[in-house]
């Protein structure tokens, strides 16, 4: 079974540019989460999809961040325009139906904004 | 607010010795606790979880953790450390259903041969 995949693995952009991160969850997983870890700090929740619907987006830092999940499959996270403080590692995770299932994480996308 | 504390940024242990990575959580309802590990250039891998039942939980790679409600702790342990255990360890908590994980800041474990 394929795990959670993320693309790209690294992205280096300049302040003001746009970047789109992609996450492909494990097939059949309804729950999809985005998290971010800024250097040396905690991994922080960004948002949660259940199928194609946003269940919780309380962690989204501001309106420069836009997440979508087309047809309840893969998800994209767009940052537009990027700022220096957006640098960090963006993780995607997915989990199946039922409560308290462990979340399976992708390898992350390391975003550097110069 | 829900929170998890990992009081040690770094833990060093000699190969073959027992290891402990500490985690405490804030009290709010019934916590469900998880440990994840991140190896270099890899994503987070699930190690083990406590949902209910036996307070001692066994997980992958010989790791185990004990849920202690009175001390609000969920320390990760292994009887005999391996060099290959060197990685970044994260404790996390949820309080209901498929809600997002709340993570600690992580503890870097270094096992020295």
B27 pLDDT band, cuts 50/70/90, is: low
**Would you list which residues of chain A are within 8 Å, Cβ to Cβ, of chain B?**
3-4, 6, 31, 33, 35, 40-45, 48, 50, 56, 59, 91, 93, 95, 99-108
B4 Cα to chain A: minimum distance (Å): 10
Q: Which H or E run includes B11? A: strand B10-14
Assess contact for A25 and A74: CB atoms under 8 A: yes
Show residues of chain B in contact with A103, CB under 8 Å. Answer: 46, 101
Give the confidence band of B33 by pLDDT, cuts at 50, 70, 90: very high
B-chain CB neighbours of A101 within 8 Å are 98
pLDDT (average), residues A17-43:
93
Whether A1 has a pLDDT exceeding 80, the answer reads no
CA distances from A46 to A33, A37, B36, B66, B105 (A): 7, 10, 18, 29, 16
Query: In a mutagenesis test of the A interface, which of B38, B40, B98 is the best target, namely the one with the most A β-carbons within 10 Å?
Result: B98
Other beta carbons within 10 Å of A110: 16
Lowest mean pLDDT among A35-39, A60-64, B40-44: B40-44
A114: which strand partners? none
């Amino acid at each position: 079974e394929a795990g959670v995949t993320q693309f790209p693995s690294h992205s280096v952009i300049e302040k003001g540019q746009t970047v789109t991160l992609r996450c492909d969850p494990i097939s059949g997983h309804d729950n999809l989460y985005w998290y971010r870890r800024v250097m040396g700090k905690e991994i922080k929740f960004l948002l949660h999809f259940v199928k194609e619907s946003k269940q919780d987006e309380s962690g989204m830092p501001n309106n420069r961040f836009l997440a979508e999940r087309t047809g309840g499959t893969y998800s994209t996270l767009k940052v537009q325009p990027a700022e220096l403080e957006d640098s960090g590692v963006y993780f995607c995770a997915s989990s199946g139906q039922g409560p308290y299932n462990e979340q399976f994480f992708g390898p992350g996308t390391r975003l550097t904004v110069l | 607010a829900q929170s998890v504390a990992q009081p040690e940024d770094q833990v060093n242990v000699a190969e073959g010795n027992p290891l402990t990575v500490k985690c405490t959580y804030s009290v709010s309802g019934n916590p469900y606790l998880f440990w994840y590990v991140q190896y270099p250039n890899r994503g987070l891998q699930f190690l083990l979880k406590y949902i209910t039942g036996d307070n001692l939980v066994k997980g992958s790679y010989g790791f185990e953790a004990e849920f202690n409600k009175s001390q609000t702790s969920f320390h990760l342990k292994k009887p005999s450390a391996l060099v290959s255990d060197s990685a970044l360890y994260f404790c996390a908590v949820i309080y209901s259903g498929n809600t997002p994980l709340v993570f600690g800041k992580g503890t870097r474990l270094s096992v020295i041969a």
